Amino acid sequence: MTDTVAIVTGRRARRPPARVTRRRWLPYAYLAPALLLYGLFLLVPLGRAAQFSLYEWDGLGASTFVGLDNYAAVFQSAQLREAFAHALVLIVFFAVLPLALGLVLAALLTRARVRGLGFFRTIVFLPQVIAMVVIAVTWRQIYAPEGPLNTALRAIGLDSLARAWLGDYDWALPAVGLIGTWVSTGLVTVLLMAGMARIPREQYEAARLDGAGAVREFLAITLPSVRGEITVALTLTIVAALKTFDLVYVTTSGGPGTSTTVPSYEVYRLAFTIGEVGAAAAVGIVLTVIVFLINAVVNVIGERR
């Protein structure tokens, strides 16, 4: 097996691999096992979901074909529209804020020769490693009416700010969003640090000789150099924002009222608690399309030179 690979790559070094081009099916034979699994566990379920979305079905009995009615309902239902709006708000908390924080943190951590850099990097990255359910349970405690956050606010005399964060109609969504910020920042920072480490030091020296300050250096050298990393970071965090489920499920169940519902939670609610599987599938498909569209835009902008 390893021999074959070596021969193929060895030939490629000199000229195009003749044997491979002659037998066009060969690359696909190598791809087949992975493609089969991918198709079976991803594409087929996706196709089935698209199919389900055309039916009215309670998940138990017979189904009725309703065409695009479920999609119409997604756009007509105030509660579902609200859920999608919440997801867009979460993008700010999951992607935009962490990117801003991450750029500053990464620039500081790469430039400053601090002792124990590894330690700080680990701390910043730690939220990524913990299961989202654990994070959600922890933050639920932190946001509780008698929890640490309110205790801290009262201790410094800000009693008027203390509130039941997750039970407050205005604050619940930002409170949930900030958990996302806390989680995403580590990932974004570490990605950006990797990018910044690749920037040749000479560029900074040259800039400094030209009289550039730290801010100028950051804008002229650092930021353009990590464009690729920013694209990757935004793609990952936007996807995370749009498909958030566990965080909302554990912290607020979409409440109070409907103030923190998100599309993924609606999929769960429709399919499992209300028994409208068709409508749930339609929400899921619409969400998938939105995720693709937003990320396509991010990548087109990110790769443009």
* 165 touches another protein by CB under 8 A: yes
Token pair of 268, please?
Answer: 């769960």
* 145, 148, 200, 228: which one binds another protein (CB under 8 A): 145
d(CA 146, CA 50): 45
d(CA 69, CA 270): 15
CB contact set of 251 (below 8 Å; sequence gap of 6+)? 136, 139, 140, 143, 166, 176, 179, 260
Torsion of CA 202, 204, 210, 215, to 10 degrees: 170
Interactions with another protein, residue window 110-139 (CB under 8 A): none
CA 88 to chain centre: 12
How many residues does this entry show for the chain?
Answer: 305
CB of 36 to another protein, least distance (A): 10
DSSP class of residue 65 equals E
d(CA 55, CA 53): 6
* 11, 111, 121, 140: which one binds another protein (CB under 8 A): 140
* 17, 59, 174, 302: which one binds another protein (CB under 8 A): 59
Stretch that binds another protein, among 44-52, 68-76, 81-89, 123-131 (CB under 8 A): 44-52
Nearer to another protein, 94 or 143 (CB): 143
* 274 touches another protein by CB under 8 A: yes
* 84 touches another protein by CB under 8 A: no
The site string for another protein over 188-227 (x = CB under 8 A, - otherwise) reads ----------------------------------------
Nearer to another protein, 159 or 210 (CB): 159
Sign (positive or negative) of CA dihedral 87, 290, 45, 32: negative
* 246 touches another protein by CB under 8 A: no
**Using CB under 8 A as the criterion, which residues of the chain lie in contact with another protein when the complex forms?**
28, 35, 39, 43-48, 50-52, 55, 57-63, 65, 140, 143-146, 163-169, 172, 252-253, 255-258, 269, 272-275, 277-278
